[in-house]
Structure 1
Amino acid sequence: MAKTGYGKRHAGDEPPYAEADFAHLAPREAELAAFIDELPTGAAMGHKVIAAEHPRYGQQAVRTSMGRLTEAGHLRWIKEHLTVEDNSMRWVTRTYWSRLRRSEEWWAEFVRARHGRDVTHDHQPGLARADEAEPDLDPDPDPEPPPEPEGAAEEPSVAHRTLAQLRAADRRLALSEGDCAALEPLAVEWLARGATPAELTHALTAGLPPTVTNPGGLARSRLESKMPPKPPAKHRPAARARVTRAVFVCGLCEEPETAVPLVNGLCAECRAGCGLDEPGPPPGCVPATFLPASRQTLQAEGPVDVTERVEELRRAAGLRPRRGGA
């Protein structure tokens, strides 16, 4: 799977898969098209990743086939400029897949319709520039206390007072000032995780043995072993983001259409690498060398002595003639 917000995306609503969907493709492209069609939304669509998962084809074969699927109208790569409500912005490249064979006009309209789309849930947190600090996940941070006047005595924390008052709850757990100072960080963590001073006191004093020889050690053991779990993080609602610009990019090298001309989603260099512009027979055409000779040609050449022909081939290969041969 790709990172959140990336990977395979469906270009639109389509009917269920049918065997005839990829009948117009060559066998290898049809097989890879069926493989890609089965991938879930969000799956990584790089040719290296697909080649690593496909049992039959390597990276170069997959790359070439993905170029031909782009040429056929099943794949497009679109670069979208996103603007978030906090005025941060970013370019992202999306991969769109269509089971149906789409025309250039259809894809052009698809890109035009991307402008202004709300994509709030289609990007990762921290969409803004990489040098910005991570957003604060707590929507209601505790305000910082005002600075105390110089010379004022520092008040003990709630955690420290709770530890000091254990002797009033149970004399067997009377802690010294040193014990309270050493155990204060653990007690602070208890309170930070949602425990109240009363719950902290109960956890430390319930079920004490008849005699406690080391109150500080017993209190530390209980604070560590009974520590409550961390509360779930509170997340800010996602900032609203919209597509403010969208352009096609080459499906294999990601050059934008503003930098190089694209034909059916590919630049000229990548088209040449996939053999799309090379002259050749139309799809489904059988080369003449694989066709049987016509009846007129056979009649002009006359009948062929098969036995004599075999012996000629054996002599040309340096083999001894068969028994009875010339």
Structure 2
Amino acid sequence: MAVANPSAAARAAHAYPMARPGYGKRTAPDQAARTAADFTHLPAREAEIAAFIDRLPEGASMDAKSLAAQLPAYGQAACRTALRRLSEAGHLRRVKEHRKDDDGVYHWVTRTYFSRTARPDDWWTAALGGNVPRAVRPAPSRAYRALALLGRTDSRMTLSHADCRALEPLAAQWLERGASEAHLIRELTVGLPAQVHHAAALARRRLTDKLPPALPPEPTRAESPLRLVECTVCGAPGRPEALPGGLCRDCRDCGGPGRREELTAAAAERVRAHAARVRAAMRA
């Protein structure tokens, strides 16, 4: 049974922090519908933290410090151990991706992919390589997601599900021509009139009139981003098949979940004891 942090109950939860743009949580493809039994196979602590992560928005911070700040019953060490166990159980993988930002500059970003459904290592290897069949991907497209987020940026541009589906092909053209989701949202919400009587009609007009020019493809770069899986515990990079359970060899061999934290605490205790003996000898 998980032991709650006795001093954590006094911590007040605050708005959950978002990672820098391009970083943070990403929902893995091929997700089943959410049910009450999604995490019943996990220990109580891991099940609670997994359910919390499952409801976080895309791009939310996924480090142990951020999680502990929102889960008063658990400290950072408990959250680190829980993340490790969720990785071993097949619910998450931490990866580095080589991405291009809005300025056209490529850089590495760190993301944590979370799957409500526990997946084996070979599924993660295929999914992170972009090999999940499109027919079984129920997650919304980037175009739909950008349209659905308009209302959060400016409530005057709130669209219905039907509006988003109808405008999705137009928004997809923007993304195919190199626009980012952030750029698309900005162009549809900047300079709005005081009152918007028909958000869908205005969005359609702007999507049509402001459509960026078509750009030639980049023949030297692969469509899928370059990805390296990171060890969930220590962050060591490697190919997916070299990190079964999302863990590197050193972290798998350290004696099971939570053992590394125990070894670190024991080492710290030995240092404190040695320092106490030195101080006693100096006083004598």
Q: TM-score, normalised by structure 1?
A: 0.44
